[in-house]
């Protein structure tokens, strides 16, 4: 019987989609950005991940510690950055200097 290759481990900055394949707690799938993978003892095939939960716009809405199976993680490309706001600059109003 051939050995199965190890599941890839997430790294800091990875954007992942979590569904019930990662854990039954994700009945409603969420997207996260990994802060760190903890090196805590746990059941074989499971990981503790510190992450930011991402909202629809890709902004962090909550910080979470999650118990997941790496086999169920879905890697996503990071959401596009929001467009930069155009800053309109006004000239400084200068007042004449009074002498005297």
**pLDDT tens profile 25-65:** 999 999 999 999 999 888 888 999 999 999 998 899 999 99
Q: What pLDDT does residue 5 have? A: 67
Q: What pLDDT does residue 82 have? A: 60
Indicate the pLDDT class of residue 83, thresholds 50, 70 and 90. Answer: low
d(CA 36, CA 24): 21
| pTM of the predicted protein model | 0.70
Judge whether 56 and 62 are in contact, CB under 8 Å.
no
82-88, long-range: CB < 8 A, 24+ apart: 82/57, 82/58
Judge whether 29 and 17 are in contact, CB under 8 Å.
yes
């Amino acid at each position: 019987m051939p050995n199965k290759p190890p599941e890839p481990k997430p790294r800091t900055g990875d954007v992942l989609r979590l569904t019930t394949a990662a854990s039954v707690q994700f009945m409603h799938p969420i997207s996260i950005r990994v802060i760190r993978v903890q090196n805590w003892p746990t059941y074989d095939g499971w990981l503790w991940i510190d992450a930011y939960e991402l909202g629809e716009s890709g902004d962090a809405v909550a910080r979470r510690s999650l118990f997941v199976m790496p086999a169920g993680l879905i890697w996503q490309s990071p959401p596009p950055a929001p467009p930069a706001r155009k800053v309109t600059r006004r000239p400084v109003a200068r007042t004449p200097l009074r002498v005297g």
